[in-house]
Amino acid sequence: MEQKTKINAEAGRQDLFITREFDLPLELLFKAYEEPEIVEQWMGTKVVKLESKKHGSYQFETTDPKGNKHCFNGSIHEFSRNQKITRTFEMENTPFGVQLEILEFEKVSENKSKLNMHVIYESAEKREQVLKMPFAQGINMAHNRIQSLLENK
């Protein structure tokens, strides 16, 4: 089966591309990035602030199962409805630095649209750290489960 979301991350570079085609009209895809209530639903985060405009900024807050709060924020540099969003993204209190994100929205047909996301990190090393995080989290979750199993014996 062909994968709907594609990642193009060439070795040694400090950027990567994420592309995805949606069975949605362009306007609906863009709305999912514009409206705070919708962003909350699909990103699975609390939206503290989202100013969808040039010079705007945003703040997200996520609480993990242990009750720890994780904060994310960024500034919006370009906001062209149904076309393009240029913004920064930062995970607060992490060593990942600030990343630049260029999102381009494209109409494929009446009911299909495409998102091209270009993400630029501070360095190739930082990109590798971010890429490895979901795997590390999986390992940690598995590890915590083993720990709790062992403690219950």
Which residue lies nearer to other proteins by CB, 80 or 147? 147
CA distance 131 to 110: 34
Write phi, then psi, for 35 (nearest 5 degrees).
Answer: -90, 120
| Total residues interacting with other proteins, rule: CB under 8 A | 38
Helix (H) or strand (E) holding 37: helix 36-43
Q: 32-71 mask for other proteins (x: CB under 8 A)?
A: x-----x--xxxx---------------------------
92's tokens: 């607060």
Among 68, 93, 149, 151, binds other proteins (CB under 8 A): 149
C-alpha angle 25/72/114, rounded to 5°?
20
User: Binding marks (x or -) toward other proteins, 7..36, rule CB under 8 A?
Assistant: x-x-x------x-x-xxx---xx-xx----
CA distances from 100 to 39, 48, 120, 121, 145 (A): 19, 20, 5, 7, 35
- Interface contacts to other proteins, rule CB under 8 A: 3-7, 9, 11, 18, 20, 22-24, 28-29, 31-32, 38, 41-44, 115, 128, 130-135, 138-139, 141-143, 145-146, 149-150
